[in-house]
Amino acid sequence: MVMNINMIKELRRTLHSIPEPSMKEVKTKRLLMDFLRSHTGLEIVERGAWFYAYYQGQDTEHAIAFRADYDAVVCQDGCARHLCGHDGHSAILVGFALELERIAPRRSVYLIFQPGEETGQGASLCSSLIDECNITEIYGIHNIPGYTQNEVLLLDGTFACASTGMEISIQGSPAHAAYPQQGKNPALLMADLITYMDALVNGEHHGIVLGTVIGIEAGSCSYGMSADRGILRLTLRAEYQEEYDELVGKIRERAEQQAKEQGMTCTIRLIEPFPATINHPLSVHKVRTVARSQGLSITIPKEPFRWSEDFGYYLQKSEGAFFGIGCGEEHAGLHTADYEFDDAIIGTVINIYEGLLDMKDTERDYFLTTDRIGFSEWKKDDIELAELLWGDPDVTRYICASGKFSAAEITARLEKEIDHQAESTCARSFGGRGTQRKQQKRSSIMPFRF
């Protein structure tokens, strides 16, 4: 049971009343730091635009981290408002901080309070702590309207897509509208890029690939002049980092090449880029185990969320998982005028975080390892790991007629693999299961290889 829950809810309401734009969260950061110093004995370390709280446990070699963002959404009227729930995310992490000294975990714990998530700037700044402090795993959450309150949303692999804004500025040369051939008009080039983008996103892909026209500007209101400059604004996103990189690269190359061939100049700017948020399967397994032990409902969304989340920067450097918590099927959507964070999920997340502190890495003997993969023999209690593998249609479509294993078929397959191991040591190479180890770089289309 979470102590001081009412105090944390009051803190959340106070945070809600002082929303600040990304990378300008001066009052918010000060309030959070002062609160933690007043109510905990944790070490508070200020790092310019951000800060972290540190609990030193006996085990400093396997540090674990949790992250909360605290910036607000800037609306079309220019005002900042907490329409994404970052006030609640920060309140949750403060509530967890209050519990740390009471439960006295063995592991060292870092609580990262991050600015600038809405613009993708914050995590790239704060993720340096992963290497500095030998953090071996990290977790974070997002509240998600449209799902049952306190329902845990889990995804192996990509949880949220990579994305970027792309601004393509093209400069041609002016001409009389009656003699457009005497100038360089960028309008047709911009139209070509839109058509090209559409062809790219509608091709064959391993996951979600999307391109959206955000805005087009060309020429002026002078009807006697052919347009001589234009700006095309796009948003590009993809489920897998590799396909995102390919999409961005091809459009950039096309724009620069066509502009050069047509005698125009082209300037391209990427705006608010986000990496894919790709979960580590064994960390997802830990979240799933804790949620089940606490009697929480777990849902696997049909596809990754198409919005982006800069937590992916942390997961490029450490094992970990980002997961969602439902805040009600009828709850107002994120970034809508009627949205406000649901205080009822605060205690649920704190309890999950506490449970993750007690989760230990399964001790396994690996008979073959690479930088990213470890192979070991199956064990009888590996049913949840078996579900990770054979519960994935992207795997089973290659090995069974129906394309998907039932729960009974997964259990039978596990028993069969164990039997094969016992029959012959030669079968180890085929019966072993790959478990992804710490990822320094995610370079495959499928983020979890077996």
- pLDDT recorded at residue 428: 43
Cα–Cα nearest to 245, from 254, 236, 257: 236
- Report yes or no: 236 and 276 within 8 Å, Cβ to Cβ: no
β-strands 152-153, 298-299 pairing:
parallel
- pLDDT recorded at residue 397: 77
- SS3 category, 349: helix
- pLDDT class for 433, splitting at 50, 70, 90? very low
- pLDDT recorded at residue 71: 98
Query: Considering just the CA atoms, what is the radius of gyration of the chain in Å?
Result: 25
E strands of 32-149, at which residues?
A: 43-47, 50-55, 59-69, 73-74, 80-81, 107-114, 135-144
- Report yes or no: 70 and 113 within 8 Å, Cβ to Cβ: yes
Q: Quick one: tokens of 138?
A: 């990290």
Measure the CA angle with vertex 272, ends 252 and 146; round to 5°: 115
Side chain identity, residue 32:
L
For the chain, how are helix, strand and coil distributed in percent, rounded to 5?
Answer: 35, 25, 35
- Report yes or no: 448 and 157 within 8 Å, Cβ to Cβ: yes
Q: What percent of the chain has pLDDT over 90?
A: 77
- SS3 category, 247: helix
Measure the CA angle with vertex 162, ends 129 and 288; round to 5°: 70
- Report yes or no: 382 and 433 within 8 Å, Cβ to Cβ: yes
- pLDDT recorded at residue 403: 79
**pLDDT single digits (tens) 143-199:** 999 999 999 999 999 999 999 999 999 999 999 999 999 999 999 999 999 999 999
How far is residue 377 from each of residues 259, 359, 391, 408, measured CA to CA in Å?
Answer: 56, 21, 19, 21
Q: Does domain 162-274 have CATH number 3.40.50.720?
A: no
- Report yes or no: 53 and 134 within 8 Å, Cβ to Cβ: no
Please name every residue paired with 369 in a beta bridge, in sequence order, or none if there are none.
374
Count other C-beta atoms under 10 Å from residue 298's C-beta.
Answer: 13
Q: What sign has the CA pseudo-torsion 216, 221, 224, 225?
A: negative
- pLDDT class for 425, splitting at 50, 70, 90? low
Q: Which CATH class is domain 5-160+276-358?
A: alpha beta
**pLDDT single digits (tens) 19-77:** 999 999 999 999 999 999 999 999 999 999 999 999 999 988 889 999 999 999 999 99
What is the C-alpha separation between 173 and 192, in angstroms, rounded? 18
- SS3 category, 19: coil
What is the C-alpha separation between 366 and 362, in angstroms, rounded? 12
Q: Quick one: tokens of 257?
A: 């090449």
Ordered by start, the domain boundaries in the chain are 5-160+276-358, 162-274, 366-436
Side chain identity, residue 139:
Y
Per-chain mean pLDDT for the chain: 90
Please name every residue paired with 171 in a beta bridge, in sequence order, or none if there are none.
229, 265
Side chain identity, residue 219:
G
- Are 5-160+276-358 and 162-274 equal in CATH topology? no
> Which residues have C-beta within 8 Å of that of residue 41, sequence separation ≥ 6?
101
- pLDDT class for 431, splitting at 50, 70, 90? very low
Q: Quick one: tokens of 314?
A: 């942390």
Element (DSSP H or E) covering residue 94? helix 86-103
Neighbour-count burial of 303, counting CB atoms closer than 10 A to its CB (0-12 exposed, 13-18 middle, 19+ buried): exposed
- pLDDT class for 404, splitting at 50, 70, 90? confident
Side chain identity, residue 245:
D
Choice among 54-63, 135-144, 333-342, 406-415 with the minimum mean pLDDT: 406-415
- pLDDT recorded at residue 438: 39
What is the C-alpha separation between 348 and 345, in angstroms, rounded? 5
Q: Quick one: tokens of 393?
A: 């249609």
β-strands 135-144, 319-326 pairing:
parallel
- pLDDT class for 373, splitting at 50, 70, 90? low
- pLDDT class for 2, splitting at 50, 70, 90? confident
**pLDDT single digits (tens) 91-148:** 999 999 999 989 999 999 999 999 999 999 999 999 999 999 999 999 999 999 999 9
Choice among 167-176, 239-248, 292-301, 388-397 with the minimum mean pLDDT: 388-397
Sequential DSSP letters for 163-180 = EEEEEEEEE-B-EETT-G
